[in-house]
Structure 1
């Protein structure tokens, strides 16, 4: 910020001699200043009316043409992001700022601070009309005859200068900021005259206490610390109201020259001897002497303060999402949501700047009960790194009916610093749960969890769960209907998808194909549908590619070859649970501005995705996946149990494994994915067990907490079988005895043989 002057020393305590030219220059400056001073004599006599009644001289005319209006405006303040704690109270996740400042009111600033500021910077503050004539003349004389720069600026003038610099820092480009700053701080008589004129204008409009309050709020205290409240917290772990006399004087000393007198630098040395905070002490002791001189403290208080050592206890403020620990990726997503909201500016850069300076309190949807469970089970089941495999783990939970994101975590440590990221694959700035434009990856193939959209389109177009299809594996699938791009022929492409357990493919019903996750069954269902319709059904549930490209609608996409963000799939499953009405995700419950008023926030958009009867049939089928299909282990591991439905997914060669499902209250998607490279999870063991079944250990851990906190209602018109009953029933379909291994994509690499255009790996 701004240095408000020095004590005229060169650092050695000796005033350097003036040259003849320097003295002459000083005299010229004195003459110019004297002309101003002559004008100010009149001003000082009538501070309330300021310039009214002054004789019309050329100097006065120049003075009167200068601007005299300066608004006391809100200052740049830090913004805070909160989650919801276990007892419902807000818990701070992260603080964002360009300037570490907390603006406080008059009653929140202790008298010690007010007295130190006035005694040290402007003893006649309550007597002059914005410009201290005595101080100005003293400064001119000192500058002219001693060669040291003596500011002589009143507190009001210092406030004006700081306001002008603040306005510079709000400009959009570095060049504009630099030019503005130079104009606001250049040492010229014209700049000083403008500053005086504005100071008089401020004094005419605002009360003295308001000016002093804002001066203490705007002043720089070294580095990125601004305002007395943040300074008290940073240097002493205290508040502006509770500072001792010695502490107050030491902090006010910094304002005079923030670079020289700050208290967070190592002790300097003279002749090899550490002198502690000698510079600050000298200025502090001067202020204490002035406080005694003007009767602000007693002799006893003065003696005690003078004897007090300079002992700052630095409390580093947290800034940015990296301070949010395991919640950092959710925090990062919140920032991206705000950066895309036009409420905060015309473009992303302007929005980020406004957020970092606006003093907002952002209360997010993150539920720390659910989030802590997600983080704990992730740490227990998926390592951050593994030799030969860049493994990723993801969990996203969404509240049904509102779109509120309740949990979001992954198996990496968050950092935006490339040097930190270079130290190991445990570090990443990429949020695997979200879209690329929101700080996420380019998505992951969801495998058989994507089959729910073919099932939805099947039922929504009048087909039934009992209807059977010829699901035998084959290399010639013939022509598929596509109302968007025209008929698609798969006879000559050499595309021959198989089933996970190499089932022969008898005439499965749609229900049997769903329970057993039969690839060829769903491809045969798609032949009776419209590939474009299946794609549109996925979009109706809020699903889209994470990289922003259009969803593929090839026959292979039916079994999950589009790269999609896990959060998108969680939104879709929440839509199924919400009677077929999908609500877009939101991460902010409310925002409060620095002035205490509510700020408009992004809201969830809810749209009907399928007919109510279709939704009931989807839930009926997916609930049996939980009770006697590929998701039994997730169902039996959830305590307390409520009615739930779900779908597993495994991509080619078990590269990625998924468990997605929901109760009537919460939807959760869990995945173990390959960030880069290739790995067959069925051949890999973690400390917690097989990699391929980690999803069945994590999903119940999260949903157990969700069920205990949010409960779960029966789905209308659907009877969901509890796990204990399901274990006693005989399955109606042939399901692999090892229910840990999905009957999803088989030995052929469906992605490589997908006749659709090549798609990138699900990583970034």
Structure 2
């Protein structure tokens, strides 16, 4: 009986060996053959650096000087060449996983047949895979099928078909790659738990070292983990990790790569991993820290909007050199925090800075009083306060520059012409205002507006009106100019996303919403229609606004009317160092250069005595030519300051990011609080202007003070 069983086993062994050899030496037909060929091509291509699916790498975001500020990744991996891995690491892995690695040609026939017989006969499941085969399997699991659970399951099936496929690819690899390349390839794709992949990342994360400096003890721990990373995690399971490391040391002794005496000495050593590890950078913009995180977030948002997928961004191994000036960003953050405490509940103070130019508008700083990060209790936020349409209650009278620009362009008025500024005015271009405004047509009320304070003369030049900001003067200009050109001017000068968003939340218009404010874009909501001449409240800046876009408006005016997208991108290179183009919107002459230059002159008095920002300018000893415009919304719930010199343009905004309804009280630098109702006292000349001047005065310190452009006589006076 025993002899019969032995003969049957031998016969089965021969038949199975024949199947394996036939399956490996000849192409497999049908679906298995196609899959095998595809996987083979993919792995071989990866080995030569030409893969359609190369291993995911870390993308690095840097400042404009090339200093890293953040890393983005799905798998923390540092690519490592064969000669950058210590012999101790290599022999530890070979000893525990494939001691005949340098003897076989991709498949260990004896082990494979033994495992196949055991598996098919119902015995204990055995692997018997060589490192070459494991390289194939790990590459499929961690690279090709990393986002495909079903594919990962297929790559690990305990079946003859899968083993045939894996063995066939392994044999092909051995004809095209050296043993050292295969070993390094495996060590570059294998997982070491906690999103750490490859020996380069593991050496850094576990021991704060490089792969070429890994010791026997360190290499043994990592080699042992490759079999089951979560089970042997040295922080979660230190006892099991120690047992596994010591097992690898014993295997090294058996393989004559380590003396028994040294092995016993090393076994007595602690694991030696970094405390409270692993030591790896954050996988997203949180890694940029509280100061640079907002800029990093804008870089990510910008690239996603311009065609790069998030998967590519987080796996492509790109180096993204940004336009961020770290000194300017630091000073902007410092100034924002000086004005509003970072822990102040429901108060956000932002500053966005852009470099003017006729070929590019580079973003140099994005800052807020709040820190960037996930810990709300520590005052942190991951919402893009300085760049997104985050101020939903508006930028106030800073919008008067759009009314003025449209009126000047249309020949309604010149910057030195007289405009009327009565104490109050009832406009006929606004519908829906509550009483006491009178009816001007069936179901339509006028827009009743008064000036924010008394003491204005009944008339003044447009330049003086921009300096002192009477409300009635600009509502009257709206009537004379028409709302269409004014809302169009806002978009042309730079509020592109802002004007395309809805007028209630700043999000995309919802065609199914009942409320017009949500259903329509801001351009549609405030502009004229068949039933309405438009809404005159637009000039008082009552709708959601992006601080970055507001800064870019100033950059457009200071660039001779040339609009460019506010870009955070200096250069992008791929994992091979080759440039990666990104399709950005081309710059355009948004308004005539003469008009832009004339508006610069028209806006050049706000920092001087009598101007709404004069006190803030005086507080830092400001003495440079500039443009400026303040703004404050109803109930003093938000405020803004837009300003620019020929070198830098920017916008500061203070607002309530969480509960928008209510006011802000400014008790001086560092003492701004949110209050209920309409008891606020905030103005654009206070916190926003002080934030702008506090940062920009230091940024430009020691630099020349170039003059502003000259106005065009065509736009100075009508006729």
2:479 matches 1:527: yes
| Aligned equivalents of 1:572, 1:685: Cα separation in 2 | 28
In the TM superposition, residue 170 of structure 1 has moved relative to its aligned partner by 4.2
Residue equivalent to 2:137: 161
Aligned to 2:491: 539
CA distance in 2, matches of 1:67, 1:300: 46
- CA contact 2:351–2:547 (8 Å) conserved in 1: yes
The question of 1:117 aligning with 2:93 is answered yes
Q: 2:69 aligns to what SS in structure 1?
A: strand
- Asked if structure 2 preserves the Cα contact closer than 8 Å seen for 1:79 and 1:355, the reply is yes
Q: Distance in 2 between matches of 1:466 and 1:372?
A: 39
Instruction: Give the corresponding residue for 1:495.
Output: 447
**Does the CA contact (< 8 Å) of 1:404 and 1:587 recur in 2?**
yes
> Following TM superposition, by how much is the alpha carbon of 1:613 offset from its aligned partner in structure 2, in angstroms?
2.0
Once the two structures are superposed, the pairs formed by residues 495-514 of structure 1 within 5 Å of their partners are 495-503=447-455, 505-514=457-466
Q: Say which SS state the counterpart of residue 149 (structure 1) adopts.
A: coil
Which residue in 2 is equivalent to 1:713? 706
**Counterpart check, 1:379 vs 2:329:** no
Deviations 1:531-574 (A, max 9, x none): 11111111111213343423323222122223211111001001
Taking the aligned partners of 1:29 and 1:518, their CA distance within structure 2 comes to 100
TM-score (ref. length: structure 1): 0.77
Mapped pair 1:453 → 2:402: yes
Q: CA deviation at 1:104?
A: 1.6
Aligned residue number for residue 678 of structure 2 = none
Task: Give 1:281 deviation, angstroms.
Answer: 2.7
> C-alpha deviations, 1:691-725, integer Å up to 9, x for none?
64222331112112331376552223269xxxxxx
Q: How many residues align?
A: 642
3-state secondary structure, aligned to 1:150: coil
Range with bigger deviation, 185-194 or 505-514 = 505-514
Alignment of 1:100-139 (within 5 A): 100-139=76-115
- 2:604 aligned with 1:623: yes
Cα distance in 2 between the residues matched to 1:569 and 1:691? 19
- Give, in whole Å, the separation in 2 of the partners of 1:41 and 1:561: 77
Give the 3 Å change call, closer, same or farther, for CA 250–455 of structure 1 in structure 2.
same
Q: Partners in 2 of 1:27 and 1:153 — Cα distance?
A: 27
Superposition deviation, residue 155 in structure 1: 0.8
Helix, strand or coil: the match of 1:610? coil
* 1:259 and 2:230 correspond: yes
Inter-partner Cα distance in structure 1 for 2:132 and 2:56: 19
Q: Distance in 1 between matches of 2:468 and 2:100?
A: 86
**Structure 1 position 477, deviation (Å):** 2.9
Structure-2 residue corresponding to 1:666:
648
RMSD: 3.4
Q: Are the aligned partners of 2:429 and 2:446 in contact in 1 as well (CA < 8 Å)?
A: no
Are residues 1:404 and 2:362 paired?
Answer: yes
Instruction: Give ranges in structure 2 of 5+ residues lacking alignment.
Output: 47-53, 432-438, 500-505, 509-520, 528-534, 673-680, 713-719
Per-residue deviation, 1:151: 1.6
Report if aligned partners of 1:382, 1:393 keep a CA contact under 8 Å in 2.
yes
**Shift of the alpha carbon at 1:682?**
5.1
Q: 1:64 to 1:30 in 2, by over 3 A?
A: farther
Note the alpha carbon deviations across 1:397-430, whole angstroms, 9 max, x for none. 11111221111122334445xxx54x58x34332
In the TM superposition, residue 395 of structure 1 has moved relative to its aligned partner by 0.9
How many angstroms does 1:655 deviate by?
Answer: 1.7
- TM-score between both structures, scaled by the size of structure 2: 0.81
TM-aligned CA distance change 1:32 to 1:187, over 3 Å: farther
Which position in structure 1 is the counterpart of 2:126? Answer: 150
Q: Find the counterpart in structure 2 of residue 733 from structure 1.
A: none
Quick one: structure 1 residues 141 and 282, their matched pair in 2 at CA, closer, same or farther if it must change by over 3 Å? farther
CA–CA distance in structure 1, aligned partners of residues 577 and 80 of structure 2: 13
Quickly say closer, same or farther: Cα 1:27–1:125, change in 2 above 3 A: farther
Describe the shift of the 1:300–1:454 C-alpha distance in structure 2 as closer, same or farther (beyond 3 A). same
Deviates more, 1:625-634 or 1:400-409: 625-634
Q: Residue 641 of structure 2 contacts residue 651 of structure 2 at CA under 8 Å; is this kept in 1?
A: yes
Taking a change above 3 Å as real, the CA distance of residues 62 and 568 of structure 1, as seen in their structure-2 partners, is closer
Moved more, 368-377 or 635-644: 635-644
Which residue of 40, 62, 82 maps to 2:62? 82
* Separation (CA, whole Å) in 2 of partners of 1:309 and 1:620: 72
Q: Which residue of 1 aligns with 2:25?
A: 51
Q: Distance in 2 between matches of 1:65 and 1:331?
A: 43
Equivalent residue number for residue 201 of structure 1: 172
Aligned to 1:605: 586
Contact 2:331 2:695 in 1 (8 A): yes
- Is it true that 1:467 corresponds to 2:403 in the alignment? no
* Contact map agreement 1:383 1:411 (CA 8 A) in 2: yes
CA offsets, 1:364-413, max 9 Å, x none?
A: 222110111111122221123446xx212111111111221111122334
Matched residue, 1:278: 242
For residues 25-57 of structure 1, the C-alpha deviation after alignment (integer angstroms, 9 at most, x for no partner) is: 9999997665343466799xxxxxx838xxx9x
1:576/1:615 contact within 8 Å kept: yes
Q: In 2, distance between residues paired with 1:532 and 1:61?
A: 66
Query: Secondary structure of the equivalent of 1:649?
Result: strand
Retained in 2: the 8 A contact 1:665–1:711? no
5 Å matches for 1:531-570?
A: 531-543=483-495, 544-545=498-499, 546-548=506-508, 549-551=521-523, 552-553=526-527, 554-570=535-551
CA contact (8 A) 1:334 1:588 kept: yes
Aligned CA distance change for structure 1 residues 540 and 650 (closer, same or farther; 3 Å): same
Work out the CA distance in 2 between the residues paired with 1:367 and 1:569: 19
Q: Distance in 2 between matches of 1:263 and 1:29?
A: 43
Q: Which moved more, 1:406-415 or 1:649-658?
A: 406-415
Q: Is the counterpart of residue 212 in structure 1 residue 188 in structure 2? A: no
The answer to whether residue 278 in structure 2 is matched with residue 315 in structure 1 is yes
Compared with structure 1, are the counterparts of its residues 138 and 711 closer, same or farther at alpha carbon in structure 2 (3 Å cutoff)? farther
Note if contact 1:27-1:144 (Cα within 8 Å) is conserved in structure 2. no
| Aligned residue among 237, 248, 254 for 2:219 | 248
**1:678–1:262 Cα change, 3 Å:** closer
1:324 counterpart SS class: helix
Contact 2:221-2:245 within 8 A present in 1 as well:
yes
Note closer, same or farther for the CA distance 1:186–1:480 as it changes in structure 2 (3 Å cut).
closer
- Of 593, 602, 605, the residue aligned with 2:574 is 593
Change in 2 beyond 3 A, CA 1:322/1:33: farther
- Counterpart-to-counterpart distance in 2, 1:33 and 1:356: 48
The answer for the alignment partner of 2:694 in structure 1 is 701
Closer, same or farther: CA 144–304 of 1 in aligned 2, 3 Å: farther
SS in structure 2 of the partner of residue 335 of structure 1: helix
Offset, 1:123: 2.5
Q: Distance in 1 between matches of 2:218 and 2:336?
A: 46
Q: CA deviation at 1:504?
A: 5.6
Counterparts of 1:583 and 1:572 in 2: how far apart (Å)?
10
Structure 1 residues 139-148 or 177-186, which shifts more?
139-148
Which residue does the alignment assign to 2:348?
A: 392
Q: Is the partner of 2:303 in helix, strand or coil?
A: helix
Change in Cα spacing, 1:470 to 1:25, as seen in structure 2 (3 Å) is farther
- Provide structure 1 residue ranges, at least 5 long, that are not aligned to the other structure: 1-23, 44-49, 172-176, 269-275, 345-350, 482-488, 720-764
